[in-house]
Amino acid sequence: MMNDENILEVRNLNVSFQVRGSEIEAIHDISLNLKKHETLAIVGESGSGKSVLTKAFTGMLEQNGRISQGTIDYKETRLSDLKVNKQWDKIRGKEIATIFQDPMTSLDPIHTIGSQISEVVVKHQKKSKKEAKQIAIDLMEKTGIPNAEKRYNEYPFEYSGGMRQRIVIAIALACRPEVLICDEPTTALDVTIQAQILDLIKELQAEYKFTIIFITHDLGVVASIADRIAVMYSGKIIEIGTCEEIFYDSRHPYTWSLLSSLPQLARKGEELKSIPGTPPSLYKKIIGDAFAPRNQFAMSVDFKAEPPMFKVTETHYAKTWLLDKRAPKIERPELIQNLHQHMLEMTAED
């Protein structure tokens, strides 16, 4: 039975893809709770499985993908048991809506902006076409489109990238979802627009009280928006905790690397820190900790056995042998030790 606080529960989830006859595993043994009205950020390098994980929540895995193990529960519905699109139609949009990275291509190029919003209003809010138009215009205003009445009849190509992402958000809102999955919604936008979109999402969440899963490969983006952060590496969650815990008390060396490569930490004249090496291929069997080959603190055990999830606090878990009693005490890199300080300075500068 599901915990009342949670809206979505994932247990031991594996997702695999059929690729040229062999099966690769993109998500490995992930367990996760999503609390009502929270904002959970999922962070990780590209290819770490963030999109695949959330696609599994809405039945939008590609044809060659399937949930090979584990369960996903949404309220009373066991999502991992849903098979055909007909069953998913009740979940998608109305319960869980997703907005994607590229606002330039997310809208149908040959229908007007307005019709794409009211289409959803008619469907999910059961309104007449005329009412839907008014609701759509209100939504456009709410998402910060000036001159909404006039721009209702324009086409996507007449909108800038930031404006289109606002429309995409308006459409998602028109569904009245309980959970909004934002899959890198700001990655394709430039920095000032990014900040505006983040603010917009926060405002709308305060008003409409939905739960957010916010995917990004940029830890810097989530600091301002997330309640909790899950860090993914190679198809696994390797550390999860509150925003505070991840930023100021992270335990996994991979999280440390991510933090160290925050552009905000780059000192003048110094190169931006990047994580050496590349993530492991999904086609090779991994023994031990997947991050070990790139980990400067790796111990011999890291190459032999996969670490379990160690509990740091009630809300904070990390998957690294460094948390084992027998492991030597290792200091976090100096660069991120006084991260708090940096972040404060940064916000002060803004």
Ligand X SMILES: Nc1ncnc2c1ncn2[C@@H]1O[C@H](COP(=O)(O)OP(=O)(O)O)[C@@H](O)[C@H]1O
From the list 61-69, 75-83, 257-265, 269-277, the region that binds ligand X by CB under 6 A is 61-69
Closest CA to 225 of 282, 266, 180, 190: 180
Tell me how far, at minimum, the Cβ of 48 lies from Mg ion, in Å. Answer: 9
From the list 155-163, 253-261, 311-319, 326-334, the region that binds another protein by CB under 8 A is 155-163
Judged on CB neighbours under 10 Å (0-12, 13-18, 19+), 264 is middle
DSSP 3-state helix, strand, coil percentages of the chain (rounded to 5)?
A: 35, 20, 40
233: β partners: 236
The yes or no reply on residue 123 touching another protein (CB under 8 A) is yes
The count of other CB atoms within 10 Å of the CB of residue 65 is: 19
Give the per-residue contact string, 275-304, with ligand X (x = CB under 6 A; - = no). -------x----------------------
What is the SS3 assignment for 249? helix
For residues 97 and 298, which CB has a smaller minimum distance to another protein in the complex?
97
The yes or no reply on residue 50 touching ligand X (CB under 6 A) is yes
Contacting residues toward Mg ion, per CB under 5 A: 51
Q: Are 237 and 319 in contact (CB under 8 A)?
A: yes
Closest CA to 36 of 208, 172, 210: 210
Pick the binder of another protein from 97, 136, 282, 286 (CB under 8 A).
97
The yes or no reply on residue 29 touching another protein (CB under 8 A) is no
The count of other CB atoms within 10 Å of the CB of residue 69 is: 16
Provide the greatest CA pair distance for the chain.
68
Pick the binder of ligand X from 6, 48, 216, 250 (CB under 6 A).
48
Question: Where in 26-45 is the site for ligand X (CB under 6 A)?
Answer: 26, 44
Where along the sequence are the contacts to another protein (CB under 8 A)?
A: 58, 60, 63, 85-86, 89, 92-94, 97-100, 102, 105-112, 119-120, 123-124, 155, 157-158, 168, 171-172, 174-175
